[in-house]
């Protein structure tokens, strides 16, 4: 049996693997698996389609349902073009901070979770603890749903999930859902002087974008429900951030592509918003096809991150509140994997060390104090699991 590493030593190791989302995370997964194995903990993998990435999950304690699950992602955002004062893939301590890509988002928490699992194994727990490490979180939270599906037939079902995204150890019980659609309007080219026989993809994109504007105004003007009122702003927002199309000022545009993203308050249905958009698309397409039948509009979903809905008497929230003493309500504006766990039937909360303000930045860091607060939290969590 190998030595029990400190949380800091585990973080050092995790940061040393440059698991940028576009690259493989298998060297990191190999290390975590062999470390857990060396402490008698069996780990399971779920590979993505490429076989280059894997999620890892593990269970400690009695083989019964009701585990607390500590969940984090293993991927990090790129460092390309960012001015770093030290090697991003080596943890460097200065001024009371640990610098390194992923220290804050979120290998610091991953390290604490791995440490907690090994602690639980050695101390002995009467309520189980599980670890779930995903991939591809930073490119649209696409790795967690297949991981969750893969865990369910292999491990006894856990009940409360703590997703350790940086929240300054506050209990975050809600976030909006994020949904993205790529829209490709395909028009028909003629000289612009003959516009009655042509279809400008740009001009038929315009009513779809205007639909987003009008929806934003209508959403803003209606009274928010109790859950929506927690958010800033307290309504669902639609946004077109990228658009391209057209070839010349005197040719009706053959193509126009734009992105439509939706930030949906968790009390509203994202599917309803998607359906409303697609219904508007079909109306516009019908108008286009009345001019020229070989025109069309294709809509494909590019991301889908369900919102996290504050739970009434949620178990995950209760565990975090008991340990941290934080009794306030917090919601955040960024999406996490907690909404995906909740959608799959788990109680879920976001609570992790560090501040989201430091995530994705050059010279990303977690303060030594926040890292220690995370370790103290995990230590108390394991103590509670020993009591059952």
Taking residues 88 to 127 in sequence order and writing x for each that binds Zn ion by CB under 5 A, - otherwise, the string is: -----------------xx---------------------
CB nearer to Zn ion: give 48 or 255.
48
Both tokens assigned to 343: 């959608």
Asked if 351 is part of the footprint of Zn ion (rule: CB under 5 A), the reply reads no
Residues 159-178 that bind Zn ion (CB under 5 A): 165
CB nearer to Zn ion: give 165 or 285.
165
CB nearer to Zn ion: give 274 or 353.
353
Q: Minimum Å distance from CB 348 to Zn ion?
A: 15
Q: Minimum Å distance from CB 86 to Zn ion?
A: 21
CB nearer to Zn ion: give 12 or 105.
105
Q: Minimum Å distance from CB 196 to Zn ion?
A: 52
Contact 113, 41 (CB under 8 A): no
Asked if 12 is part of the footprint of Zn ion (rule: CB under 5 A), the reply reads no
Contact 77, 69 (CB under 8 A): no
List the Cα angle 298/216/297 in 5-degree steps. 10
Report CA torsion sign: 287, 288, 291, 294: negative
Q: Minimum Å distance from CB 49 to Zn ion?
A: 22
Residues 26-55 that bind Zn ion (CB under 5 A): none
Report helix, strand or coil for 256: strand
**How many residues bind Zn ion, per CB under 5 A?**
3
Partners of 177 in the beta sheet?
264
Q: Which residue is nearest to Zn ion (CB)?
A: 105
> In whole angstroms, how far apart are CA 182 and each of 100, 244, 270, 312?
34, 12, 16, 35
Q: Minimum Å distance from CB 73 to Zn ion?
A: 6
CB nearer to Zn ion: give 18 or 233.
18
Contact 29, 56 (CB under 8 A): yes
CB nearer to Zn ion: give 165 or 268.
165
> In whole angstroms, how far apart are CA 247 and each of 33, 200, 276, 316?
53, 11, 30, 54
Alpha-carbon Rg of the chain, whole angstroms?
A: 24
Interface positions with Zn ion (CB under 5 A): 105-106, 165
């Amino acid at each position: 049996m190998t030595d029990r590493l400190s949380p800091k030593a585990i973080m050092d190791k995790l940061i040393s693997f440059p698991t940028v989302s576009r690259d493989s995370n298998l060297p990191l997964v190999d290390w975590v698996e062999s470390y857990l194995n060396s402490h008698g903990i069996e780990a399971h993998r779920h590979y993505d389609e490429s076989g280059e990435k894997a999620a890892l999950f593990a269970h400690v304690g009695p083989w019964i349902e009701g585990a607390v699950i500590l969940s984090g992602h293993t991927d990090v955002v790129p460092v390309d073009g960012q001015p770093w004062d030290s090697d991003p893939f080596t943890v460097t301590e200065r001024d009371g901070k640990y610098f390194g890509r992923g220290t804050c988002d979120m290998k610091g928490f991953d390290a604490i979770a791995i440490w907690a699992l090994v602690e639980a194994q050695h101390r002995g727990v009467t309520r189980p603890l599980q670890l779930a490490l995903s991939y591809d979180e930073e490119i649209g939270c696409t790795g967690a749903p297949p991981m969750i599906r893969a865990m369910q037939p292999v491990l006894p079902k856990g009940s409360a999930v703590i997703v350790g995204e940086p929240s300054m150890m506050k209990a975050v019980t809600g976030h909006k859902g994020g949904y993205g659609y790529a829209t490709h309007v395909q028009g028909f080219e003629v000289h612009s002087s003959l516009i009655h026989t042509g279809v400008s993809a740009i001009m038929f994109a315009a009513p779809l974008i205007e639909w987003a504007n009008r929806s934003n105004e209508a959403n803003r003007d209606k009274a928010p429900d109790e859950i929506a009122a927690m958010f800033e702003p307290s309504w669902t927002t639609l946004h077109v951030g990228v658009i391209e199309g057209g070839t010349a000022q005197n040719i009706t545009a053959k193509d126009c592509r734009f992105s439509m993203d939706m930030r949906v308050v968790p009390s509203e249905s994202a599917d309803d918003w998607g359906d409303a958009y697609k219904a508007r698309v079909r109306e516009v397409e019908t108008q286009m096809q009345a001019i020229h039948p070989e025109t069309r509009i294709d809509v494909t979903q590019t991301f889908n991150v369900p919102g996290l809905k504050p739970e009434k008497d949620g178990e995950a929230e209760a565990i975090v509140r008991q340990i941290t003493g934080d009794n306030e309500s917090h919601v955040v504006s960024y999406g996490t994997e907690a909404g995906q766990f909740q959608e799959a039937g788990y109680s879920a909360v976001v609570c992790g060390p560090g501040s989201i303000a430091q995530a994705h930045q050059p010279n990303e860091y977690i303060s030594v104090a926040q890292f220690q607060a995370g370790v103290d939290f995990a230590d108390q969590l394991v103590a509670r699991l020993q009591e059952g």
